[in-house]
Amino acid sequence: MERDPDADAEAVRRVLAGDVEAFAVVVERWQGPLFRLALRYAGERGAAEDLAQEVFLRAYRSLASWRGDARFSTWLIALATNVCRSHARRFPRATEPLDEAALPASAPEPDEPALAPHLRRAVNALPPRYRDALHLFYFHALDVRAAAASLALSEGTLKARLARGRKLLLSALAAGTEGRGR
């Protein structure tokens, strides 16, 4: 997820100077990653786009609070993570039991792997601390340090949550497979 940080900084500087249209640069550069993060939490495209739009609006409102001492990507993804987590708290779509969520239900979108939707449902059904750890770990392409930074956790804490979360996920998926076999 390495992007030219100077382009972000320049776009933010222009927006803060009053050029609203410069924000399009930020949207264009980050719409894919933020949509994919939102999709992990929201589970379906329409809700994910609404959530990603909410992230961009929050980012626009609070651009002045990015002081440039951290990378813009770190700031933006931490903000997006917070918005997605509060969305998950407000709309707990994963109230289904973990083993039921692990059963394949919805068809994958044309641009995603066949297993992704039911795996996402299974991750969403995990307790929030493990769900967040796994979502951010995969979102950051297995980069523990980046995932820990997005969640404001130490790397050790994140690793412990990942280990426990992955174990829970595996047993839920195994239970789901057994359930289907019966």
Partner 1 sequence: MDMDEIDRSLLDDRAEPRPSFQADVMRAVRREAATLPPIRFPWERLAVGAGGWLLVLALAWKALVSTDPARLLTSAPAVAVACLAFSLLVQRALRVWAS
Judged by CB under 8 A, which of 24, 106, 145, 171 binds partner 1?
Answer: 24
In angstroms, the CA 132 to CA 128 distance is: 6
Smallest separation (angstroms) from partner 1 to the CB of 14: 13
| 23 belongs to the binding site for partner 1 (CB under 8 A) | yes
Q: Which DSSP letter does residue 112 get? A: S
Separation CA 60–CA 176 (nearest Å): 42
Task: Choose, by CB under 8 A, the member of 119, 146, 149, 158 that binds partner 1.
Answer: 119
**Of 63, 62, 39, 66, which Cα lies nearest the Cα of 50?**
39
109: contact with partner 1 by CB under 8 A: yes
Could you say whether residue 47 binds partner 1 (CB under 8 A)?
Answer: no
Is residue 45 within the footprint of partner 1 (CB under 8 A)?
yes
Residues 6+ apart with CB under 8 A from 122: 98, 101, 102, 169, 172, 173, 176
Q: How far apart are the first and last CA of the chain?
A: 42
The region of 33-41, 75-83, 91-99, 149-157 touching partner 1 under the rule CB under 8 A is 33-41
Residue in 2, 4, 6, 21 binding partner 1, rule: CB under 8 A:
21
Applying CB under 8 A, does 16 fall inside the site for partner 1?
no
Q: Does 141 bind partner 1 (CB under 8 A)?
A: yes
